[in-house]
Structure 1
């Protein structure tokens, strides 16, 4: 009944900076044009409106521009049984290297 108030597992952008040095699954739920303007190396672009098509069994970290779309995506993925974790603050706070223009 009150599922909109449930918190989702989340990490900070600083925690993500350490995790991306390892082999993790990272989904970027921004639009393809946002993704092409700059994303984290190794991230897979799965726009929010296609998140229900995602299939995976490993823990996945989810990022967007500000943390709002990724939070919605994490809720949808967790309903599907995927161990998904939100990245708070999103790409707007990312200070690391960005890949530009590639999928």
Structure 2
């Protein structure tokens, strides 16, 4: 079956945690209010409705997260179509268990 859409790669939360030990491009596409309630340290907030304003480096992978994985999958698809190497984080912040152990900012 032919696909007209280029699918973005995806990773799990545990794979993301390992990558976060380095300095990776990482965006959180939740709303400003959701982001303000708490986010992963180092994540840049680019709400889904503003994803077209993202201006990162196209030669490096950019990791994308939201609350459950739905918006980040949409954002990653948009970014991939725009020429970025976007990687969707499965499960989103609902799967992030570091809220009480560090690696989480308010």
Instruction: Return the TM-score normalized by structure 1.
Output: 0.89
Q: Tell me the residue number matched to 2:43.
A: 43
Runs of 4+ in structure 1 off by over 4 angstroms are none
Unaligned residue ranges in structure 2 (runs of 5+)? none
1:2 is displaced (CA, Å) by: 4.5
Q: Tell me the residue number matched to 1:99.
A: 105
After superposition, residues 4-83 of structure 1 pair within 5 angstroms as 7-57=7-57, 58-83=60-85
- In structure 2, C-alpha distance between the alignment counterparts of 1:53 and 1:7, rounded to whole Å: 21
1:8 is displaced (CA, Å) by: 2.2
More strand by share: 2
- In structure 2, C-alpha distance between the alignment counterparts of 1:63 and 1:39, rounded to whole Å: 10
- In structure 2, C-alpha distance between the alignment counterparts of 1:36 and 1:3, rounded to whole Å: 36
Aligned residues: CA RMSD: 1.4
Instruction: Return the TM-score normalized by structure 2.
Output: 0.87
Unaligned residue ranges in structure 1 (runs of 5+)? none
Residue correspondences, number: 99
**1:33-79 CA-partner distances (Å, limit 9, x unpaired):** 00011100010000000001111113100000000000000010011
- In structure 1, C-alpha distance between the alignment counterparts of 2:23 and 2:4, rounded to whole Å: 31
- In structure 2, C-alpha distance between the alignment counterparts of 1:73 and 1:99, rounded to whole Å: 22
